[in-house]
Chains A and B, each alone.
Chain A
Amino acid sequence: MKALAARRHDRRAPAVLLLLALLLTGALYAVLAPTSADAAPAAPSADQVETGEKLFQANCATCHGPDATGTDAVPSLVGVGAAAVDFQVGTGRMPMQMNGPQAQAKPAQFDEEQIAALAAFVASLGPGPAVPSDEQVDPALGDPANGMALFRTNCAMCHNAVGAGGALSQGKFAPNLWETTPAHLYEAMATGPQNMPVFNDATLTPDEKRDIIAYLDLQGEDAPGGIGLGSLGPVSEGLWAWVVGMGLLIAAAVWIGARSS
């Protein structure tokens, strides 16, 4: 003990202790901290709500107001539910980077715990759609064929036939859906962010939402026919026909037409 006591005042001790403490906290956090997906079913703790409120006052209240009731230009957050917060903050759309036709997605500004806290706080203001469970958004459990039919009837007119995105009026747009996580897809349907209509459980049942997620899970740049050309339809095909096809053929014509010397 004496030897240990003698070494206690090593000048490196505080740094080592701090490092150990950080590691321990990190490890505990990794074990105990809930992920955003399974955070939702668990009732948010009062602690979480309190943290969320602090985050809200510091980052969101400037526009949405200290009581989150919004203004004429900014929506009230009472009753939007945890799902709306998880989508808007989780995709980086909120806090909004700049005013414009619509909020743009960007790398998320908060970590999962903070987002969960914010969501808990906003959910505590009034009842609204909750963050879906992992099972609710698992593409493997959905029926892509039914999802295709539902997507074509409800989504494709803005998001393009396979979710490649499309234009709306006045600079607004429906984004590409290929990189969106299943949970965010579900939340978008449930809460109707930006210019999107709300597809509540009466319009699209949770199972149908999962079918749509299953359909979108099959889409992307990989096309059976080769390079997908953005899945944008005949305009990009026409552009490539001129650039690649006519470009190569005219180059070949110039080569053949050149007088041999």
Chain B
Amino acid sequence: MSTTTSAPTGGQKAAAKTADYLDQRTGIGGAVKEFARKIFPDHWSFLLGEIALYSFVTLLISGVFLTMFFVPSMNEVHYDGPWPAMQGVEMSEAYASTLRLSFEVTGGLLMRQIHHWAALIFMAAIVTHMMRVFFTGAFRKPRELNWVVGFVLLILGLAAGFSGYSLPDDVLSGNGLRITDGVVRSIPILGSYLSYFIFGGEFPGHDIIPRLFTVHILLVPGLILALIGLHLFFVVLHKHTQYPGSGRTNANVVGYPLFPVYVAKAGGYFFIVFGVIALMGATMSINPVWNYGPYDPSPVSAGAQPDWYMLFLEGSLRLMPGQTEYVLFGPDGWTLSLNVLIPAVVVPGVLFTLLALYPFVESFATGDKREHHVLDRPRNRPFRTGFGVALLTAFFILVLAGSNDLIATHFHMSLNDITWAFRFLLFLGPWAAFVVTKRICLGLQRKDRELVLHGHETGQIVRFASGEYIEVHKPLDAHERWLRVQHDAIRPVEIEPAEDSRGVRRTGYRLDRMRQRLSQVFYEDRIEPVTPAELAASHSHGEHDALGSDQEKAPAQLLGEGAPTGGGRRLRSEDETDADGRNS
């Protein structure tokens, strides 16, 4: 804020005076000083959350514009406007005002499309950001609560998207509301009461659009805004995590200060996000409600699907066989619609619960109470990475199942066969994805071990005078090596025996036993990182006699370039090493 150059110009003086005025009245100088010096680590994946933040800002800006023209009313009117296919058609005021917004309000269609694309990007960014946090273990202590805040933001994002999607009162969104009504009704005992409560009577009623409007423009965005504040407050409080690397520890943050580097980077990124969304809104048609027509409970179009973030629910419903509907307690009894309850309530319930509770399950299985500010490389946590990929696979299969009709028409396949294939894949796919991912992770760790112990293969074959051939290996420099040996290999927790030395049963043993079993599932298969002793041994093997025994005990990272490698023979002299520590 305050500019301290040698010869202040008029503008600088004015800025300094303004800053001083503010500082004397608010004490903001201290906060600015604190924030300006705050260090953020540099990595593209740390910007994924910013996409979500900036697309939310875009949503707020375009949304305010839309509220100026949208009429949240279900009163019946007859359309009179420029769109020929709607001339004189009876429709709700909500739908008519959406058409007016699209065809008559200047810039209205652009704003509508920006708003909708921004919503899709918002959810996509949340999911991508969450994937980054999950796979790098950024949710570990002390950030478990922030994971939960982020998870709630995801759910609120779904709620915002769904409530907004339903507002134009077109056939497509009305179909979505009808499905929601069916899902609510499938809840045992409470279902029909809840449905009447939500719709203010029999579906569709006259209340749902005004109610959704309040939810969409006041309740949900307010909550999202508050939780974004909390989310960011936690980021400042905990400081940002960083990827492992030389010089990076749990006690520091390596990166650039907020001011000026990150103010410029993050500020500039806002304009990129806004620009990309505006470009999409200007050139790509989205939710053309005039295609679908005003809502009427009778018609359903082919290709009726929700926005992508709700597509997994649609897929889940499409996959469920329809026979599981039962009438209990006689012909006038209760209907138990398992065909809706399981796919629309139980399946998402399971997926989301696993997602929300994962940090707590993992910390229980790990038995680790330390703080972590250095991220994990996904390969070093094979169970977590495999589990995340399995969860994503399940989600992805459900999304594809929700698009089964388009897959059928575009790839000339039978809709029925696709549905059956997905029914099996939903159970087999995540399992296969888990096994494969875990094996890949373990394989990559073995590769790391191999690299650390023997260095890079150079392809140079050398023959010794004795006739022996060896391949020359280029040793890793200290930075490369540190990256591959810095992590802990987490072992399954060990517990005390069930009975003490006098044969008395120990309280808490059963919980411990459970923890141990879970921990074994997580960490039984593992590759230990190279220890300093192993490294020293590998460097000396074949030349044991030549090396002093004290070298074997030296820490791995201290053995810099020039240490003997390559079948134990030193084949490069130290002066071949570049200035940056890498061997050319």
Instruction: List 6 A-B residue pairs with CB atoms under 8 Å apart, sorted by A's residue number.
Output: A153-B298, A165-B302, A170-B415, A174-B302, A219-B291, A253-B48
CB-based contact A229/B86 at 8 Å: no
How many angstroms from the CA of A40 to the CA of B300 in the assembled complex?
36
CB-based contact B85/A157 at 8 Å: no
How many angstroms from the CA of A255 to the CA of B273 in the assembled complex?
13
Over the window 95-112 of chain B, the binary record of Cβ atoms lying under 8 Å from chain A Cβ atoms (1 yes, 0 no) is 000000011000001000
CB-based contact A152/B414 at 8 Å: no
A246: which of B42, B44, B113, B121 is its contact (CB, 8 Å)?
B121
How many angstroms from the CA of A233 to the CA of B301 in the assembled complex?
10
- B interface residues, Cβ below 8 angstroms from A: 42-48, 50-51, 84-89, 102-103, 109, 113, 116-117, 120-121, 124-125, 128, 171-172, 265, 268-269, 272-273, 276-277, 280, 282-288, 290-293, 296, 298-309, 311, 402-406, 408-409, 412-417
CB-based contact A229/B273 at 8 Å: no
Chain A residue contacts of B292, Cβ below 8 A: 161
Q: How far is the CB of A222 from chain B (nearest CB, A)?
A: 10
CB-based contact A161/B171 at 8 Å: yes
User: Which residue from chain B places its CB closest to the CB of A156 in the assembled complex?
Assistant: B301
Task: Decide if A33 is an interface residue (CB 8 Å cutoff).
Answer: no
CB-based contact A224/B288 at 8 Å: yes
Q: With A167-B302, A226-B113, A249-B121 in contact, is A238–B307 under 8 Å at CB?
A: yes
Task: Decide if A198 is an interface residue (CB 8 Å cutoff).
Answer: no
Q: With A170-B415, A173-B409 in contact, is A145–B84 under 8 Å at CB?
A: yes
Task: Decide if A258 is an interface residue (CB 8 Å cutoff).
Answer: yes
User: Which residue from chain A places its CB closest to the CB of B415 in the assembled complex?
Assistant: A167
CB-based contact B291/A161 at 8 Å: yes
Chain B residue contacts of A87, Cβ below 8 A: none
CB-based contact B113/A241 at 8 Å: no
User: Which residue from chain B places its CB closest to the CB of A159 in the assembled complex?
Assistant: B302
CB-based contact B172/A233 at 8 Å: yes
User: Which residue from chain B places its CB closest to the CB of A226 in the assembled complex?
Assistant: B283
Which residues between 114 and 142 of chain A lie within 8 Å of chain B, taking CB atoms? none
Chain A residue contacts of B416, Cβ below 8 A: 169-170
Q: With A145-B85, A153-B299, A234-B287 in contact, is A256–B269 under 8 Å at CB?
A: yes
How many angstroms from the CA of A215 to the CA of B84 in the assembled complex?
9
Task: Decide if A245 is an interface residue (CB 8 Å cutoff).
Answer: yes
CB-based contact A232/B284 at 8 Å: no
Chain A residue contacts of B404, Cβ below 8 A: 167
Which has the most chain A C-beta neighbours within 10 Å: B46, B309, B415? B415
CB-based contact B117/A232 at 8 Å: no
How many angstroms from the CA of A3 to the CA of B409 in the assembled complex?
71
User: What are the nearest 3 A-B pairs in CB distance?
Assistant: A166-B302, A238-B308, A257-B44
Which has the most chain A C-beta neighbours within 10 Å: B43, B45, B291, B402? B291
Chain A residue contacts of B306, Cβ below 8 A: 234
- A interface residues, Cβ below 8 angstroms from B: 101, 143-145, 147-149, 152-153, 156-162, 164-171, 173-174, 215, 218-219, 223-229, 231-242, 244-246, 248-250, 252-259
CB-based contact B311/A231 at 8 Å: no
Chain A residue contacts of B102, Cβ below 8 A: 224-225
Q: With A167-B415, A170-B414, A245-B277 in contact, is A256–B293 under 8 Å at CB?
A: no
Chain B residue contacts of A223, Cβ below 8 A: 285, 288
CB-based contact A167/B311 at 8 Å: no
Chain B residue contacts of A165, Cβ below 8 A: 302, 409
User: Which residue from chain A places its CB closest to the CB of B268 in the assembled complex?
Assistant: A256
CB-based contact B273/A228 at 8 Å: no
Chain B residue contacts of A257, Cβ below 8 A: 42-47
Chain A residue contacts of B308, Cβ below 8 A: 234-235, 237-239, 241-242
Chain B residue contacts of A152, Cβ below 8 A: 171, 293, 296, 299, 301
Which has the most chain B C-beta neighbours within 10 Å: A157, A158, A257? A257
How many angstroms from the CA of A101 to the CA of B412 in the assembled complex?
10
How many angstroms from the CA of A233 to the CA of B405 in the assembled complex?
12
A231: which of B124, B283, B291 is its contact (CB, 8 Å)?
B291
How many angstroms from the CA of A258 to the CA of B282 in the assembled complex?
29
How many angstroms from the CA of A28 to the CA of B404 in the assembled complex?
53
Chain A residue contacts of B46, Cβ below 8 A: 257
How many angstroms from the CA of A257 to the CA of B255 in the assembled complex?
11
Chain B residue contacts of A143, Cβ below 8 A: 87
CB-based contact B303/A164 at 8 Å: yes
B403: which of A164, A224, A227, A235 is its contact (CB, 8 Å)?
A235
CB-based contact B311/A249 at 8 Å: no
CB-based contact A256/B47 at 8 Å: yes
Q: How far is the CB of A159 from chain B (nearest CB, A)?
A: 6
User: Which residue from chain B places its CB closest to the CB of A176 in the assembled complex?
Assistant: B409
How many angstroms from the CA of A157 to the CA of B301 in the assembled complex?
4
Q: With A145-B87, A224-B102 in contact, is A246–B409 under 8 Å at CB?
A: no
Other than the given A144-B84, A158-B302, 12 more pairs (CB < 8 A) read: A101-B414, A144-B87, A148-B89, A173-B408, A218-B85, A223-B285, A226-B285, A228-B288, A235-B308, A241-B120, A245-B277, A246-B124
